[in-house]
Amino acid sequence: MTIALLSHVDLDAGYPDRFEAAGFTLFFATTPEQRASLDPQTAQQIRAVLTIGSIGLSASEMDNLPNLQIICAQGVGYEHIDVAAAKQRGIPVTHGPGTNNSSVSDHTLALMLAITRKIPQFDAAVRGGEWKKARWNTPGMAGKRLGIIGMGNIGSLIARRAAGGFDMEIAYHNRRPLQDTPYRYFPDITGLAQWADYLVVATPGGKDTVRLVDANVLSALGPDGFVINIARGSVVDSNALIASLRNHEIAGAALDVVDGEPQVPAEMLTLDNLVITPHVAGRSPESVENMMTLVLSNLTAHFGSKPVMTPVPQ
């Protein structure tokens, strides 16, 4: 049974062997060119697609896979999968909630510390022989205010780490306030940004959150504030962010995601108050294992005529 894999994975984790052992054959189409030039004979054989939210699967791509029976998003996001089109075709869509929560939360704190304590700049200075010149005073994180946009599972873990490890005061913005939470709720993002020293973006991607963090939000964050995005690049207005950093209207930014990735705006690469990692927050041996196990569970359930484990909300 052939499965098309559209996103890059850690092959050292044994992906092909595990799928072969479960009775599945992986077909790799991990680049736009490979997906666009899919051989019709191969397309006939594909019965499942593994993808991620930022790649997705469109209605027209589904039309090119006449025997497609299930779509699995390996992570929690599925914003570029046409769920409505899949439902119309009777194709279930699954995703991977909870599989990489700890990894993303750890990476978020690492980004916060890296931009606050200028870790990349210190490292580069030492390697360049400037030990004495580079011994700058940098601020700490302890006791500061952390605002989280999107207090879901990952946002909650970030809050727990920041409050427990750094004694940070926590507030958040969701579409509606949560029940039974100790954290302060802000009904609008601008108010949250104005209150916060750190603004972490942990909200889902998709059309409802495009450029949610814009010039007004960044202005409210102010010259001592930091923005950290571990959600989707589309949630932050790249042009507004570049202008804010260049003009020192905010103190700094740390990004694991960039709108239009893997292409990064050239203007970002010259900014010394910006840290960027290549969308790796959710990548760890533990999270890859969790994702692989859940995907296999969903596939095995579906092709065994049982309900899938983690269907996306309809």
Please identify every residue annotated as catalytic: 232, 261, 279
Looking only at the bridges linking them, the beta strands covering 252-255 and 274-276 are parallel
Which residues on neighbouring strands pair with residue 146, listed in sequence order?
A: 170, 198
- Give the CA diameter of the chain: 67
Q: Where are the alpha helices (DSSP H) in 76-214?
A: 83-88, 101-116, 119-127, 153-166, 189-195
Instruction: Quote the CA–CA distance of 230 and 2 in Å, as a whole number.
Output: 33
Distances (CA, A) of 284 to 53, 99, 153, 161: 18, 10, 18, 18
Instruction: Quote the CA–CA distance of 147 and 225 in Å, as a whole number.
Output: 11
In the DSSP assignment, the letter for residue 169 is E
Q: Is 33 helix (H, G, I), strand (E, B) or coil?
A: helix
Instruction: Quote the CA–CA distance of 122 and 127 in Å, as a whole number.
Output: 9
- Token readout for 67 is 């025997």
Q: Is the Cβ–Cβ distance between 183 and 170 less than 8 Å?
A: yes
